Chains A and B, each alone.
Chain A
Amino acid sequence: DAGVIQSPRHEVTEMGQEVTLRCKPISGHDYLFWYRQTMMRGLELLIYFNNNVPIDDSGMPEDRFSAKMPNASFSTLKIQPSEPRDSAVYFCASSLRGSNQPQHFGDGTRLSIL
């Protein structure tokens, strides 16, 4: 079975540009998570969805970040405008029935903002 699929794998762009990260969760999973990983802060939960509805976005750093899940098989994380401090690896994960079940991670998007 296909796992969680993220695209692009790498993104390099100049500050001020809009960045869109994409995620396809595992079919049938009802929870989707977006994380950011840096050396300084470790793995941080940005937002999670249940049945395509955002449940907790308290980890989203600021208004420049937004996330959507228009259907059960697709989600996006958008940064506009991007800043150098947004450079990190962004992971998407999905699970069945919430965090009391294993989360399945994609291989991440390595984002570099110049």
Chain B
Amino acid sequence: GENVEQHPSTLSVQEGDSAVIKCTYSDSASNYFPWYKQELGKGSQLIIDIRSNVGEKKDQRIAVTLNKTAKHFSLHITETQPEDSAVYFCAAPPQSNAGKSTFGDGTTLTVKP
């Protein structure tokens, strides 16, 4: 099955700095890569996703880059704000099982004011 590794597990940055979280995956046939944000006491929410036909996607301060050859994708948050503090998860659904996403172990991001 799909194996997803996420790094780092914790990340602390100063407000205004950038944050980068990286995920690697094993199934070369995977073609959809979402990123979720989980705030304390809540369920995860999709913040950005990318499909394998593009290498980068941006939405205001958030961007995702994909390197299909190396099988990794990264979340970039610029001009971080305290409200960006949360746990972030990547996911990579294997093509062999239409419903089964494998999630990374999560990155706890702390943005210090």
Contacts and interface: CB of A to CB of B under 8 A. Distances in A.
Interface of A is mostly: strand
A107 B43 contact: yes
Interface in A3-37: 4, 31, 33
A67 B46 CA distance: 25
**Listed residue (B34, B101, B106) with the most chain A CB atoms within 10 angstroms of its CB:** B101
A27 to B, nearest CB: 17
B99 A102 contact: no
Contacts of B99: 31, 33, 48, 50, 55-56, 98-99
Interface residues on B, range: 20 to 34
B3 interface: no
B106 A108 contact: no
Interface of A: 4, 31, 33, 42-43, 45, 48, 50, 55-56, 91, 93, 98-108
